[in-house]
Amino acid sequence: GEGEGEAGQPNGIHGQDQEMANGDPSGAAATTGAGAESNAVKVTTPYLTKYERARILGTRALQISMNAPVLVPLDGETDALQIAIKELSQKKIPLVIRRYLPDGSFEDWRVSDLISD
């Protein structure tokens, strides 16, 4: 019904901020329950998709450019995107990817847990 539509629209447009804001007040206990349970048994791929990779690198590069602490030792790198790529290759990016499923539930994956080649 309405709850699924509301939960489905914001996550396609923008990022985690809206998902978190609109996900909880929607009152869909099924969504929250399924999301909490799905962390135990994951059904989506353990691989980082190219879209997730692009968004994670862009988000992390923006954070680094805004003087967020860098989590890897630098060897003269100054470009925020190159630093983000280095962090990803060392699995040091402290972000969580929320993957929505067709039934409105979701899975949260730590970037450090995903396989990125």
Count of CB atoms within 10 A of residue 36's CB?
A: 12
CATH of 2-113, one of 3.60.15.10, 1.10.1520.10, 3.90.940.10, 3.40.50.150: 3.90.940.10
Domain extents in the chain: 2-113
pLDDT at 117 (0 to 100): 82
What tens-digit pLDDT sequence spans the chain (117 residues)?
A: 544 444 444 444 444 444 444 444 444 444 444 445 445 789 999 999 999 999 999 999 999 999 999 999 999 999 999 999 999 999 999 999 999 999 999 999 999 999 998
**Alpha carbon distance 58, 7 (integer Å):** 24
**Alpha carbon distance 58, 65 (integer Å):** 10
Single pTM value for the model: 0.66
